[in-house]
Amino acid sequence: MAITKATASSIAPAAKGDLVVGSATNDASILAVGTNTHILTADSSTATGLKWAAPAGGGKVLQVVSATITSATTIAVDTDTDTSITATITPTLATSTILVLVNFGVLIDNGSATGVDCGGKLLRGATTIMDYGINELVGLSGGDGLVARGALMILDTPATTSSTTYKLQARLETAGSSRTSIWQYGSSPSTITLLEIGV
């Protein structure tokens, strides 16, 4: 039997957004309105063959945050110290992943030593998500320096929709003897890019 306005009106409840659908027994049934932004999806396991569900993210880029850092930061200690390479993103979904891309330029100076190396951490808030290192530059004589470039990439899962800050820290592995590192040195700026990926 075809559903008319009269027969549809006799089906309760009749809340805003409810749908009249056929059930497995060929009777008319009510499908209650779904959650905001959810979409109507076929599902043979339900009595009506339909359900409301969140749309699939499908690995799409939902937003991009990027920063270019040009102000120099000098680090001459053997404890992890902020490099000024930082960016903040507010994920739109708690299920999203964040692709973190960092490209940095740094001058590493031996001072009066004959070797120097450098390392550090990439953090989400106060949590370390990656350790990195720049190989020891043993070939440099005292007073020499070298501008190095490096790139870091990691896929992080913050599991939040709150504002989230990522930052790069650095340290000398061995301090003293006038060793130093200068981040964003001269014409070697650093960049950090955060891409929210829906899953």
Per-residue pLDDT of 96-133, as tens digits, reads 999 999 999 888 887 776 667 788 999 999 999 999 98
Write b or e for each residue in 46-57: b if 16 or more Cβ atoms lie within 10 A of its Cβ, otherwise e. Answer: eebebbbeeeeb
Looking at residue 18, its pLDDT comes to 79
Count of domains for the chain:
2
My answer on whether 84 and 22 are in the same domain is no
Could you tell me if residue 77 is left (phi over 0), alpha (psi between -120 and 50 degrees) or otherwise beta?
beta
pLDDT in tens, 14-30: 677 777 777 766 677 78
pLDDT in tens, 79-88: 999 999 999 9
Predicted TM-score (pTM) of this structure: 0.69
My answer on whether 146 and 183 are in the same domain is yes
Structural domain for 114, as ranges: 61-197
My answer on whether 157 and 106 are in the same domain is yes
My answer on whether 14 and 91 are in the same domain is no
My answer on whether 39 and 110 are in the same domain is no
CATH number at residue 69: 2.60.120.1340
Helix (H) or strand (E) holding 7: helix 5-9
